Amino acid sequence: MAAQLRAELKPKGALSNLLFDRFWSCVLRLILIARLEETGLASRQNAPETNAVVPSLCEASMPILLTVDEHQDSAAVSGTVEALEPDMFHRLALLTRYDRSASKEMYRTLGLLLLLRDGGEKSLARGIRAAAGIKASGEEGE
Protein backbone atom coordinates (compact mmCIF):
# COMPACT_ATOMS: atom_id res chain seq x y z
CA MET A 1 0.00 0.00 0.00
CA ALA A 2 2.83 2.40 0.83
CA ALA A 3 4.51 1.66 -2.51
CA GLN A 4 1.26 2.28 -4.39
CA LEU A 5 0.68 5.58 -2.59
CA ARG A 6 4.29 6.62 -3.17
CA ALA A 7 3.93 5.81 -6.90
CA GLU A 8 0.69 7.83 -7.06
CA LEU A 9 1.87 10.86 -5.08
CA LYS A 10 5.41 10.85 -6.57
CA PRO A 11 7.29 12.56 -3.73
CA LYS A 12 10.60 14.04 -4.90
CA GLY A 13 13.07 15.74 -2.65
CA ALA A 14 13.50 15.96 1.07
CA LEU A 15 10.37 18.02 1.76
CA SER A 16 8.12 15.72 -0.27
CA ASN A 17 9.57 12.63 1.38
CA LEU A 18 9.09 14.17 4.82
CA LEU A 19 5.45 14.98 4.01
CA PHE A 20 4.90 11.50 2.58
CA ASP A 21 6.31 9.90 5.73
CA ARG A 22 3.97 12.06 7.81
CA PHE A 23 1.04 11.08 5.59
CA TRP A 24 1.95 7.39 5.82
CA SER A 25 2.23 7.53 9.62
CA CYS A 26 -1.31 8.95 9.71
CA VAL A 27 -2.54 6.10 7.51
CA LEU A 28 -0.90 3.56 9.83
CA ARG A 29 -2.41 5.29 12.86
CA LEU A 30 -5.87 5.06 11.28
CA ILE A 31 -5.38 1.34 10.64
CA LEU A 32 -4.26 0.84 14.24
CA ILE A 33 -7.25 2.80 15.53
CA ALA A 34 -9.60 0.64 13.44
CA ARG A 35 -8.04 -2.51 14.90
CA LEU A 36 -8.28 -1.15 18.43
CA GLU A 37 -11.91 -0.28 17.83
CA GLU A 38 -12.56 -3.79 16.56
CA THR A 39 -10.93 -5.40 19.60
CA GLY A 40 -12.66 -2.89 21.87
CA LEU A 41 -16.01 -4.13 20.63
CA ALA A 42 -15.08 -7.77 21.11
CA SER A 43 -15.96 -9.19 24.47
CA ARG A 44 -13.01 -9.70 26.80
CA GLN A 45 -14.68 -12.86 28.07
CA ASN A 46 -14.22 -15.02 24.98
CA ALA A 47 -14.14 -18.28 26.87
CA PRO A 48 -16.16 -20.91 24.98
CA GLU A 49 -17.99 -22.08 28.12
CA THR A 50 -19.46 -18.63 28.72
CA ASN A 51 -22.25 -17.38 26.52
CA ALA A 52 -20.18 -14.48 25.24
CA VAL A 53 -22.14 -11.81 23.46
CA VAL A 54 -20.68 -10.23 20.37
CA PRO A 55 -21.49 -6.55 19.92
CA SER A 56 -22.54 -5.56 16.43
CA LEU A 57 -23.98 -2.63 14.55
CA CYS A 58 -27.54 -3.13 13.39
CA GLU A 59 -28.58 -1.37 10.18
CA ALA A 60 -31.60 0.89 10.60
CA SER A 61 -32.34 4.57 10.19
CA MET A 62 -29.38 5.04 12.54
CA PRO A 63 -26.73 2.42 13.37
CA ILE A 64 -27.48 0.91 16.76
CA LEU A 65 -24.91 -0.92 18.87
CA LEU A 66 -26.45 -4.15 20.09
CA THR A 67 -25.22 -7.35 21.59
CA VAL A 68 -26.86 -10.51 20.36
CA ASP A 69 -26.28 -14.18 20.83
CA GLU A 70 -25.13 -15.75 17.55
CA HIS A 71 -28.18 -18.02 17.54
CA GLN A 72 -30.75 -15.26 17.99
CA ASP A 73 -32.57 -13.58 15.16
CA SER A 74 -31.26 -10.03 14.84
CA ALA A 75 -34.81 -8.75 14.17
CA ALA A 76 -35.98 -9.92 17.58
CA VAL A 77 -33.11 -8.45 19.56
CA SER A 78 -33.51 -6.51 22.72
CA GLY A 79 -30.63 -4.06 23.11
CA THR A 80 -28.71 -5.51 26.02
CA VAL A 81 -26.54 -2.57 26.90
CA GLU A 82 -26.02 -4.04 30.37
CA ALA A 83 -23.99 -6.88 28.82
CA LEU A 84 -21.42 -4.44 27.45
CA GLU A 85 -18.38 -3.67 29.50
CA PRO A 86 -18.92 -0.53 31.59
CA ASP A 87 -16.06 1.44 30.05
CA MET A 88 -16.69 0.38 26.42
CA PHE A 89 -18.45 3.60 25.46
CA HIS A 90 -15.63 5.63 27.01
CA ARG A 91 -13.05 3.66 25.00
CA LEU A 92 -15.07 4.04 21.80
CA ALA A 93 -15.41 7.79 22.36
CA LEU A 94 -11.67 8.07 22.91
CA LEU A 95 -10.94 6.05 19.76
CA THR A 96 -13.30 8.33 17.82
CA ARG A 97 -11.34 11.38 18.96
CA TYR A 98 -8.04 9.78 17.91
CA ASP A 99 -9.57 8.77 14.58
CA ARG A 100 -10.82 12.30 13.90
CA SER A 101 -7.44 13.81 14.74
CA ALA A 102 -5.48 11.34 12.60
CA SER A 103 -7.92 11.78 9.70
CA LYS A 104 -7.58 15.57 9.76
CA GLU A 105 -3.80 15.33 9.79
CA MET A 106 -3.81 12.73 7.01
CA TYR A 107 -5.99 14.84 4.70
CA ARG A 108 -4.05 18.01 5.49
CA THR A 109 -0.77 16.29 4.60
CA LEU A 110 -2.31 14.67 1.53
CA GLY A 111 -3.34 18.12 0.31
CA LEU A 112 0.21 19.39 0.67
CA LEU A 113 1.55 16.35 -1.17
CA LEU A 114 -0.91 16.88 -4.02
CA LEU A 115 0.10 20.54 -4.27
CA LEU A 116 3.75 19.51 -4.47
CA ARG A 117 3.05 16.80 -7.03
CA ASP A 118 0.92 18.98 -9.30
CA GLY A 119 2.68 22.32 -9.08
CA GLY A 120 5.97 21.96 -7.26
CA GLU A 121 7.25 24.04 -4.39
CA LYS A 122 5.82 27.31 -5.75
CA SER A 123 2.34 25.77 -5.75
CA LEU A 124 2.90 24.51 -2.21
CA ALA A 125 3.95 27.99 -1.06
CA ARG A 126 0.86 29.55 -2.69
CA GLY A 127 -1.40 26.94 -1.11
CA ILE A 128 0.05 27.49 2.36
CA ARG A 129 -0.23 31.27 1.97
CA ALA A 130 -3.86 30.95 0.85
CA ALA A 131 -4.70 28.63 3.75
CA ALA A 132 -3.11 31.06 6.20
CA GLY A 133 -4.79 34.08 4.60
CA ILE A 134 -1.48 35.69 3.64
CA LYS A 135 -1.44 37.67 0.40
CA ALA A 136 1.53 37.15 -1.88
CA SER A 137 3.71 40.12 -2.72
CA GLY A 138 2.33 42.03 -5.70
CA GLU A 139 -1.34 41.33 -4.90
CA GLU A 140 -3.88 44.11 -4.48
CA GLY A 141 -4.56 45.57 -1.07
CA GLU A 142 -1.03 45.64 0.31
- The string of pLDDT tens digits covering residues 26-36 is 999 999 888 88
Provide the mean pLDDT of the chain: 75
Query: Tens digit of pLDDT for each residue in 106-121?
Result: 999 999 999 999 988 8
Query: Tens digit of pLDDT for each residue in 34-52?
Result: 888 777 666 554 545 445 5
Angle between helices 88-132 and 13-41 (to 10 degrees): 160
**DSSP code at position 78:** -
In whole angstroms, give the CA distance from residue 109 to residue 126: 15
Between vectors from CA 122 to CA 121 and to CA 128, what angle results, nearest 5°? 85
- pLDDT of amino acid 41: 66
Q: With left for phi above 0 and alpha for psi between -120 and 50, is residue 13 left, alpha or beta?
A: left
pLDDT at 25 over 80: yes
Reported pTM: 0.63
Structural domain boundaries in the chain = 2-44+80-129
